Structure 1
Amino acid sequence: MSDTLAFTKVFAALSGALLIFVVVNMAAKGLYRMPAPGEGAQAYVAPGGEEAEAAPAEPERTVEEILASGDADAGARVFKKCQACHKVDPGVNLTGPTLYQVVGRAVGVVEGFGYSGALDGTTEAWTPEALFAYLENPRGFAPGTTMTFAGLPKAQDRADVIAYLRSQAQ
């Protein structure tokens, strides 16, 4: 009789564990439901439908307008990302060349710095517009560059850094 009782207890324990597993699995699927491929959620529609007026789109600013709004103090803060590899002191090269008087300087002419050659043919001089494009995506501007920095995606940050670099050359 004890063999039957032991078998019943083991069977009841396994059945109970299986039941708990099934219930927890069903609850988890209900809580964390993932949409099936192709089953997209409907986009949120603003109340008012077609009657609601769209907010006027902000006109895009030109590079010149963005550069004109550059703030040297804000640029000093953003430039901290660059300080591991660059200095703005004359003649001080680190991993990257000195950025002293870089605005308006010819490309690849810093004495004592070994350039990779990726900048050859990209631009003649570091005009504010060329710096603006380069700082956005150095590898996109000059494929093969050894500069590992990913870039500054915000246009205002780039304008601020250029304003800071200009202020350091005076």
Structure 2
Amino acid sequence: MKAVVDPQSFLLEEGPDMPNNPGLPVLLYPQALGDEVTDKAGAFEQRFRENGWGGTWRNGIMGHHHFHPDAHEALGIARGFVEVQLGGEAGKRFRLQAGDLVVLPAGIGHKNLSASDDLLVVGAYPRGQEDYTICRSKAEVTSMPDVPLPESDPFYGKEGPLTRIW
């Protein structure tokens, strides 16, 4: 197993269209999975499962701004690359590639701006947050619920960086 490396973190203030989460940063783990891992989708699924994150799926990232008011979300890039915008129309752009992991606090807007034809993303949610809501505008929620913090980091477990940073 790779040594635990603290992720990059980015706070995103509330935007005109997305609530975001000014109290919890987005966590970006560049190359969480090294080049030696050939089945990145399976490796992300296994790590998520071992660390108490469920509701896993394999697909891409939606091509419109959206957020989950009631769930935190882990997105492992298993194949290809994607340029995402986090935080809504006024948010920041990131290029994510195979092996990268990004963890989004509840309320963070995200959108696929462009991607490789072979993009494959594995998503997961903390225990108890697998039945999440998808909203396209903060006008759809009267107030953001108080979403419980995850019990563990989706990649490194109970002693992982997320549990210290959040």
TM-score above 0.5: no
Higher strand share: 2
In terms of fraction of residues, the more helix-rich structure is: 1
TM-score range, shorter chain: under 0.3
Higher RCO, Cα 8 Å, sep 6+: 2
**Could you tell me the TM-score, scaled by structure 1's length?**
0.24
TM-score by length of 2: 0.24
> Radius of gyration: which is bigger?
1
